[in-house]
Structure 1
């Protein structure tokens, strides 16, 4: 249905006023610490997406979006703002140069614990462990020991147990790494998967924007309200302190599902109030004008035309059914 609809028709829906597609990385190479987590686009597909967006939408900057949200008004015309999560090194190596050539602004959301490659995201450890299980000839006893370290059921594939690890149980990844002979510190030092502080500073000087993405990427529905607020403010204030930005924006890691209205009322008020919060609710409205919802568009098998049309059609149908906004408790 979406592909059959002309984009000009779908652009008349309220959700099309500001299109918010997000990615993590763009690469033509296999990235072991990500390959078992989610797919990503190569440079040709990404460039084709950029050209499509430029043809049908107007690139907006973060300051422009912030002003519109503060004034509680829609942006003029059909606009888009690109965002990228986790602060991966491909941002500096691949993404930013491509955006600069085409004159497209973007916001890069960063985890303060990972910058300068000070620590490795536990999900990346999981991907590396699964990769090792697939590539290395482990003995039966080694696999059993890995299963025990992961609290797996008897006979269960260790890879299945690895996928159950969450932020609360992230130490299990380190225990499995010891058993399976993976040196995460050495990998971090050699591969440098995250941006350095120097690289982030260069991006800011180039005119790009940055925002907080939590300290170390937990699932917010696993946290208490106090922990949610602490993770948010600490990641945002780190950027204000180190890079002197005069704005505060934040994007949820993973998802904002289950986060209460009290969280937004807390972090979006006071002396260190966050100006904008980005969720993952697929272009839906929320309880405050400063809460904006993005959609994932990095699956290599789906072009930006299909994802954009699908999201706009979905939002149009939801609005007609009276379900076009996120409900908070």
Structure 2
């Protein structure tokens, strides 16, 4: 018998023992049980402390069990994976808690009447009223801001990617970076200074201008990244056929990246929908319905939430209305994000088999 045949019959030494797939769940369950026991024994009343103890025990237990069964090298890999899971859960807990608290408190007064009526003559300390005027104001202000900010942002991104060269492009990029980080109150103060120079009274369109300033850098950055993903081969093929550059951008580049551009615009809308400071400075709020954003004070959902909570001292009605309006605003932002994801999937490039 040959040596190779004998060697083939020997068991492979490259395979080592490994933990079953359910072992992380078992370690996590055991860590929770031990953490609860430690918390009860030590008299710890906070569940946050129990969770931190369980997380530490989970990491230590993962390393101990994996090191004993699989070796230290594989144990280190499992510890890193455990740390990622713990970090994910720590980031998820505040989000879930926020949504749960908002839903729990917001459903108390959230009904069709609340969505179709304004505050009118209802005092903040009295029950009743609704957010119809705030919904109208938010939709008009955010809509006008989108009409202003989205085209300017897209065209600026097209210039930076397709035409931008030299000092002007570097200056535009620098100011876009600066605008990305400016506080919303600064944009509101800028528009307010222009209003004071013109001796204007608060009105909804002024808030739209401030929101457009906040929206533009977000649209520029997202659109710029989407345009950079378009393969240069598409541009070169179009130009080789004698198509002018502006027509190549209009007929090739933008249609190819329209899904990502639309998604970026939707996310920018979701970002400005919750701004309160510019609206407080420029729009002031109104208890009655005002469908004209170019004349008179208007209401908006973020401002309505702030005013109801600020006036909720000793009144559960205003407090409940603030939570119901918060739930409505979260639902609005969530719908925008879902629409953005749907558009991104719909307009994603189709790959053939």
State the TM-score, normalizing by the size of structure 1.
0.30
If you compute each CA radius of gyration, which structure gives the higher value, 1 or 2?
2
More strand by share: 1
